[in-house]
A and B are shown apart, each in its own frame.
Chain A
Amino acid sequence: MVDIDERWKKVLWLLGILISLGILAFLVVFFLRFEAGRTFRAEFFNGRTFRKAMPYVLGGLSLTVRLALVSEVFILVVGLIIALARISKNPILRALAIVYIDVIRGLPLLLQIFIVYYGLAYLGFKLDPFVAGVAALTICYAAYEAEIFRAGIESIHKGQMEAARSLGMGYMQAMRYVILPQAVRNVIPPLSNEFIALLKDTSLLSVIALAEVLRRGTEMMGKYYNVTPLVCAALCYLMITLPLMRLVQYVSNRLSEGR
């Protein structure tokens, strides 16, 4: 049996290598020999446009990262407060939290951005686009992260709360010193994934004239009549998101080992 398994493994390996080589060969021929391939290369991977557009698009990355980081700080605070309201014994607080979480999660983020930026402008509050962007992202993501916090808190055995309360601690003291420190450990992986999603969703703020990565990419696309700037933008996002995803994976593995 073992021999057959080993032989099959070798065959599969060989097959995999052959298929990969085939695809590679096809791509090379397609891009170099065919008209369509050459057009594709000129539009998507145009070296001259890349050299001109990339520095400008890359310049938007600091705004993208700043938007994500500043929003994340507010999201964590607001999300935690909503989560605590969601699990509170007070029926009014709980109902408010449920309505907030459901309504916000039921709306497209782009719509929320428009409402915060243009809606408030109609009411006479002209917000700075950065402030409006952070506000919209906070409103939206706080609802999602509140649910993550809630799940993290509810995953802690109720004996922990009882033990803390039986020692005379108040509810908030027990939360702060006993429940939350343990819950945080459970929510780090899902919260990190939310942060990656948030970083990508900052691109939606290009609609309110924030010169972040995507906005700069589309500007350059219009200027050079070429798709290459969008590829530049894609590379900018991947530079951040790919390492972050690996990091999240690593941290998750470490956390689950330490159990």
Chain B
Amino acid sequence: MNFMVEVRNLHKRFGHHEVLRGINLRVKPSEVLVIVGPSGSGKSTLLRCINGLEHATSGQILIEGVDITDSRVDINAMRQKVGIVFQSFNLFPHLTVLRNVTLAPIKVKKMRPEEAEAKALQLLKRVGLEDKAQAYPSQLSGGQQQRVAIARALAMDPDLMLFDEVTSALDPELVKEVLDAMKDLARSGMTMLVVTHEMGFAREVGDRLIFMDEGEIVEEGKPVEIFTNPKSPRAKDFFSKILSHL
């Protein structure tokens, strides 16, 4: 069995603080893995390690069988296979929406500008924003900016997409449009790791859910099973707090 992502005994320490304490994880191609847990549990750090934004203190991270913690591996080449969407969008404010999406394909993949633009327009259409191609990020709503960020990541043709609390900074009425774009992506067969507090999304789209707390994976299974029947006290406590509002 080939895994898209395989994490082996991953530890990450910031100074004296150990954020990840031995994470083991395997994600199959086309699987949608939802990661939940209280803040400070290490969810975001795990994602950031998987695309090399943070260096693992110890352990291995294999993307399509290649260990990205190996210093001989070309991290820039590996990152092209792993797209990430951030909580704070991080669009390039000095570039139009179209240039945001085409910049990396042109500069990194050396794609011809016309080709990159045609592809970008297609991706923007997919997230419902083809009419905003010439706008600047500051002229868009948060939900629109986040959908541009998704299109921008997809423009590099990644095999794996990471979503780091992408709806947490959005006004409630803008959350749905972003989740819809992600659902569409999940249905198309993209492998996704999604850190989120949107339990509705987790239940509907997630193939598997892991619950993290204090740098460890505490529980793992089908989203519905974990929601309805969490085994550990920590998971019970967490889900009783956030699911009571549903």
Contact = CB atoms under 8 A, between A and B. Distances in A.
Indicate whether A and B interact. Answer: yes
A177 B92 CA distance: 10
A133 B142 CA distance: 53
Contact of A167 (B77, B88, B94, B152): B152
A159 B90 contact: yes
A37 to B, nearest CB: 58
Interface stretch (A13-21, A111-119, A168-176): A168-176
A157 B149 CA distance: 16
A167 B104 contact: yes
A171 to B, nearest CB: 9
A164 B88 CA distance: 14
A160 B92 contact: yes
Interface string B67-108: 000000000110110111010101111100000000110011
Given A159-B90, A182-B93, A166 B79 contact: yes
Chain A, interface size category, equals 10 to 19
Contact of B53 (A162, A170, A178, A182): A162
Given A166-B83, A168-B77, A168-B156, A173 B107 contact: yes
Contacts of B93: 182
B167 interface: no
Interface residues of B, number: 25
Interface string A181-207: 110010000000000000000000000
Nearest to A168: B80
Which of B84, B88, B107, B149: most chain A Cβ within 10 A?
Answer: B107
B60 interface: no
A181 B86 CA distance: 22
A165 interface: yes
A238 interface: no
A168 B92 contact: no
Interface in B137-196: 149, 152-153, 156
Contacts of A251: none
A120 interface: no
Given A162-B53, A163-B86, A169 B94 contact: no
Nearest to A171: B76
A103 B90 CA distance: 38
Interface string A103-136: 0000000000000000000000000000000000
B90 A163 contact: yes
A163 B79 contact: no
Contacts of A170: 76
Nearest to B83: A166
A169 to B, nearest CB: 6
A162 B109 CA distance: 18
18 contacts: A159-B90, A160-B90, A162-B86, A162-B90, A165-B79, A166-B51, A166-B84, A167-B80, A167-B83, A167-B103, A167-B156, A168-B77, A168-B104, A169-B107, A177-B103, A178-B92, A182-B93, A185-B94
Q: Which 4 A-B pairs have the closest CB atoms?
A: A167-B104, A163-B90, A168-B80, A159-B90
Interface of B: 51, 53, 76-77, 79-80, 82-84, 86, 88, 90-94, 103-104, 107-109, 149, 152-153, 156
